[in-house]
Structure 1
């Protein structure tokens, strides 16, 4: 490696393009963590130079180190401009260009010295290039960022950039935000009333800071240096890279530029560009970069996908903290071509999208939606495998039956309060057996498959086999006992009881009923309020289990399934702690859910523990239809 210390002026005054390879991630820096600290560093050095203007001061102003960048110098093609591929430091280089564009445009607005304006232009544009040529840009970002970068760099002013987003839904892209932030900061510096220096002197101080004080270490790789190793070694500096960033780098760094562009556009680009209609709380609109919670994990969807995909492929208990290493080792041993691997990865990503963001009423996606409430994702590798072979040796009815068995197994265990701690190993073992059964049937001759168990039979046998508490599939008796007495509603995870109630409501709906979409917000309502007055809900004269009194027994039953229903948020607030006749009237008036239809013909004026137990038994008949268990 050949290191060199360069100022910002020296780095960008050369006629050179800094090309960020397609395998690099999109722009992710933000104001709090990067833009503001960078501007603070620039401003400190600028103010130091401003104090020296017009004074006889010996020695050079103190320098400031802005970080390091690693470049791989590429050969020049024809009359093209010299090019360096950015191995590390792309976020820093891109941000400096956005800052310089803001400085260039602000200097023109405030009549800086003509020579300074020309200097700022040279730092953002390669000379002798057509205005619409991509070679005019000093930095050329990764594929997904290029249209945005071009738009920001050519806007000409903050007002023009804002106008270009008139009517745009959601927040501005990060590059636009960065440009506007630096424009505002520079404007505030230039117009500060307490500063005695002229506007031109203030721009001159910025020029001097860029020319003398603001420095970077530029490391150019030499023949024999391994860009991948260096990239991995340096990735922890600055904004931490995602495992998927390292994996993308690993895959595409081994592919030639021309072939890499084609494979990226065909198979990987959707990971970087596919968007959702509404941004999440962090302003993220890219589907695969939205963070999801799975158990203790909170990761972007792309990392979770690769984690489950790799688990499916290897059948190993992979730690997500070691995801890149595990992927690299697996890919090194794989004989599949780059294109075959990327093609399979793309297909698998479509299946995973159905699991992470269900959008249809297919039995697989209904199960996936319920899994989100159960907060269990260890079955995802098995579901990815099943989705990948559907229609190729396993027909849709068999897949549907497998999904019903898996859901019944998991929901019954949840209702019975059985631990999911062993699920990771259990479902890995199930995945292995399912893949083996599938391979055997695929390898068998046409007259043999009938003698071999199907994948569905193998999975069902495994689910039925164990009687241990960590893997037993509860029978109807244990299911009913827990259904009647185990509190289903827990304040911290009310979505779980809502999931069960939604499922019951769906099975009550027939072709004669309106099809209501329950995807929107609903809340769980207690028919006998948790804080209901005893005057409104007197204790009944019933047998109470040993060790309980009337109050403690009520506290248990009030959170069981027979006392719960679903309402919209507004209706829930209105019904609240009212006496039962008032509550029933409000629910009947405002709720169209089949789950509440029975209240229209109900005339009782009280709601007691006996009513809760009776309704639980009635709902249990529906639960058996949704979550059946075949005989052992």
Structure 2
């Protein structure tokens, strides 16, 4: 059980104020800054709502409890290392800085003096003319320099610097966006006030509300392991903590020396530089673990990693250690980034990877990741095509249970990591693919309500037709085509078929058209759309029996025409996504 030195009520001013020990986010600790516009906007709305009560009752008003934080304090309490609560304290500091800069913008002597006081009291101070600033909150190595440059740096004669470090990570962009959001909101409020005195009063009231009214419970612990246990307990009770943060904390805890900690940080630098969002890192971690150990669910990923690695470190006497795991994680992250970006440099393989990404067929990645550890990219086109055919035939067209496909591919990924060779892997995937008879039957009755899937299926068929006719593929670039319902989604009432809902998203009723979609024209009867079809350069329009959907003699839509066209397309699809 964790040891807790004390748990005490702390205002924001007591946590980041000049007369209290500085807050430091240690390098083994929490994630980068991760609050998006959604969290920042909610925080701002809550602060303004609380301020209304504060304006009425002052310090007698109810406090705004913003949550617990977990810190590690040394015996001298000269500084506090924060393990949980970084996001809230960082966002609060950004808001305080935005208030400081709004005061400076007003431009009066009094407003500039107030801005300098905010800087000295709540952001940083200098104890001497030639001493460096002491910052009241220091972020981890991934954000510290950008945060200081963009938020904390200040000149009492000139205010905020005119130029800043260019954002280099997605967390830097989020810091910049949070600051911009607060600055705009403050400016909007000040614009409604008649004069400088009213503006100064409003800013000062908001500043007092923040530093005196926002309340935390600080849980002080004596060691990293105690803090980690409290941290995980708090975050297992309903809050969604990032798995990468927990994994990194665990690895730093298990590191026996500075070199091992540096190796963990090196791996995390690769993760943070290579993925656009935290969610992408979480997905990679799961796929990495699946590729090595088989299926694991997202909600239990951290617990599984921690339990497995702790046992393995102990059993091996650390012959397999934090350095080994971090090095493998880093290498796999680089290969995984190649896969999801279609950036392997092998053109044919990259084309299949692009299709996998467009379909959102994430279940294929663990197997491909495992294979890249044992094979060159140049030989992986065939297995990737087999996996793609499996996914299209099983999931997209067959609408079968996707969890079974995942189980099959995840099990195979583990076997590949254990030594299964490429050809045996290909053979095994082929045994999983629904056969041609099954696929033809599935395709002839399939619907595609998802536009992304419909566009992929239709463009793939168009590509096959064009290559058979020895035509170029320029006309099928996704961005210049839209999915067209031949029989309209909203037909004129007199032309609406009785089985409308069953027919409208059938593949036989779908085609591609070049250019921006004209919704009103798309809902017209066939004769009024005929000119668009006749002038299209797409073979999907001119060579797939679209005319069968309209009965010229009765001037009505034909349900049988959708069935006939879909059967024709099924005969093509079985060649586009072959079983062997």
TM-score, normalised to structure 1, is 0.69
Q: Distance in 1 between matches of 2:18 and 2:478?
A: 56
- Residue 456 (structure 1) aligns with: 423
Task: Determine if contact 1:433/1:459 at 8 Å carries over to the other structure.
Answer: no
Q: Report 1:359-438 matches (<5 A).
A: 362=347, 364-371=349-356, 376-391=361-376, 396-397=378-379, 399-413=380-394, 414-436=396-418, 438=420
**Residue 100 of structure 1: aligned partner:** 96
Which of the two has higher C-alpha Rg? 1
Which of 30, 55, 61 lines up with 1:24 in the alignment? 30
By how many angstroms is 1:624 displaced?
3.6
For 2:56 and 2:416, the matched residues in 1 are separated by 68
Gaps in structure 1 of 5+ consecutive residues:
51-59, 275-285, 290-299, 439-453, 465-470, 538-550
Aligned to 1:121: 119
Judged with a 3 Å threshold, the aligned counterparts in structure 2 of structure 1 residues 622 and 583 are, in CA distance, closer, same or farther, namely same
Shift of 1:567: 1.6
For residues 39-82 of structure 1, give each alpha carbon's deviation from its aligned partner in whole angstroms, at most 9, with x where no partner exists: 554674566459xxxxxxxxx99876555433224699xxxx95
Q: Name the residue aligned to 1:477.
A: 437
> 1:505 is matched with which residue?
462
Following TM superposition, by how much is the alpha carbon of 1:500 offset from its aligned partner in structure 2, in angstroms? 1.6
Counterpart-to-counterpart distance in 1, 2:240 and 2:510: 45
- Separation of aligned partners in 2, 1:420 and 1:210: 49
CA distance change for structure 1 residues 33 and 580 in 2, over 3 Å: closer, same or farther? closer
Which of 493, 513, 520 is the matching residue for 1:567?
A: 513
Which has more helix, going by share of residues? 2
Q: Does 1:34 align with 2:43?
A: yes
Q: Does 1:343 align with 2:324?
A: no
- Structure 2 counterpart of 1:442: none
Secondary structure of the equivalent of 1:248? helix
For 1:254-269, what aligned pairs fall within 5 Å after superposition? 254-255=254-255, 259=259, 262-263=262-263, 266-269=266-269
In the TM superposition, what whole-angstrom CA distance separates every residue of 1:251-281 from its partner, at most 9, and x where no partner exists?
234447954774356321243355xxxxxxx
- SS across alignment from 1:509: helix
Deviation (angstroms), 1:312: 1.9
What's the offset of the Cα at 1:115? 8.3
Q: Does 1:252 align with 2:230?
A: no
Given that residues 575 and 586 in structure 1 are in contact (C-alpha distance below 8 angstroms), is that contact kept between their aligned partners in structure 2?
Answer: no
CA contact (8 A) 1:73 1:84 kept: yes
Ranges in structure 2 where 5+ consecutive residues have no aligned partner:
314-319, 553-557
| 2:316 alignment counterpart | none
Contact 2:72 2:224 in 1 (8 A): no
Partner of 1:441: none
Q: Counterpart in 2 of 1:515?
A: 473
TM-score, normalization by structure 2: 0.75
Q: Give the Cα separation in 1 of the matches to 2:178 and 2:49.
A: 14
Q: 1:152 to 1:583 in 2, by over 3 A?
A: same
Label 1:426 to 1:213 Cα distance change in 2 as closer, same or farther (>3 A).
closer
Number of aligned residue pairs:
548
The 1:261–1:74 alpha-carbon spacing in structure 2 relative to 1, beyond 3 Å, is farther
The answer on whether the counterparts of 1:524 and 1:565 sit within 8 Å (CA) in structure 2 is yes
Give the Cα separation in 2 of the matches to 1:238 and 1:224: 22
Change (3 A) 1:435 1:271: closer
Is 1:330 matched with 2:312? Answer: no
Give the Cα separation in 2 of the matches to 1:344 and 1:594: 47
| Residues in 2 aligned to 1:68 and 1:555: alpha-carbon distance in whole angstroms | 52
Q: 1:102 to 1:434 in 2, by over 3 A?
A: closer
For 2:491 and 2:10, the matched residues in 1 are separated by 73
8 Å Cα contact 1:16-1:126 kept in structure 2: no
Asked whether 1:14 is paired with 2:10, we answer no
Q: CA deviation at 1:325?
A: 0.6
Q: 1:613 to 1:527 in 2, by over 3 A?
A: same
The Cα offsets for residues 321-340 of structure 1, whole Å up to 9 and x where unpaired, read as: 11211121122234543333
- For residue 402 of structure 1, give the secondary structure of its aligned residue in structure 2: helix
Query: Cα gap change, 1:526/1:112 in structure 2, threshold over 3 Å: closer, same or farther?
Result: closer
The answer for the alignment partner of 1:154 in structure 2 is 153
Q: Which moved more, 1:600-609 or 1:366-375?
A: 600-609
Partner of 1:468: none
